[in-house]
Structure 1
């Protein structure tokens, strides 16, 4: 899966928060976490990416069909975080994820399950920026801000307070724009997210027919 990095010994860990609680309303009501990508659930790909980039521990936030997702995807070594309020939007998943982190983490790398173009190399670049002193960083693509986003521990409370509806960390990034380090990743990753069957067809090779929801039973 590309450039695999191990956590740096002797330095405070950077945790990963993989937000995977959504119900995939525009994908026919199937959780994006279970879309089949390269023959396995998309959630497994997202976990492998953040691990490969050097994050540890990895916390996975689940909501829609949580028990089915947890039983289907291989999540060994991950902390699974339940978000019963997942239907209210991404913000509730970010709050649940941040609240679940153990003491001692220097930062959290926030990744979305529906961005299959993000790579371990992109994650590693954000971690390198953090090791170099950035407390708030985001991947950018051709100068435009995207995902993943790295939030230093000093901002956890502010990030949680501003995470409402589907805004996620947007309020924090806007309020702290002067402190945000943008890390160009356009040469090693792609920012596209998956919201519709047509979006998914571009990644999975499945026909983007109206009403096609995607499922674990279809190969990617």
Structure 2
């Protein structure tokens, strides 16, 4: 699940000497609104179609315009989760990948990262999602797993985030391998856990779009 595994060969880098007209032609051909700019193996940033449109000068080169997202990059050995974090931070659909020496290796798209992350969290597996609220001092995944397993259910993955309704608490989102939640909810509540949300999946999903959609719901985005 390292970022270099998801580098796409479909998005070519531009050089500083390439003109805006060439950049727009490439963007139109591969149907993307942003391209990386690289010179002698160094990632210099991204150029976006809106920047080129605003300049309205097709003869300008990449070296003559202001690039953005110079820090929108990850190292090749970092987890794909870091791609998602950096992409969200810079509001970019693609993230550059370099080695530890700074040499440009390519880009990873957010779509590919989301799909990979969804697969890693077993989002495509038939089951259900349960959301609990608790104080951090009360959090013990081992204890919660023990309770869940008494109902013949396994926790496939979990995510901790801040509780939007109470800043002093955390929100624990669990992906379970069983679609039926009635008895699991009752058991957790009997042990004093507060359930703030849930959803049950009636059937497995197979398409990439469905996996990404389920991931976004799982992450509560």
Tell me the TM-score normalised to structure 2 length.
0.23
- Determine which structure has greater relative contact order: mean sequence separation of CA pairs < 8 Å that are 6+ residues apart, divided by chain length: 1
**Which structure: greater strand fraction?**
2
Tell me the TM-score normalised to structure 1 length.
0.24
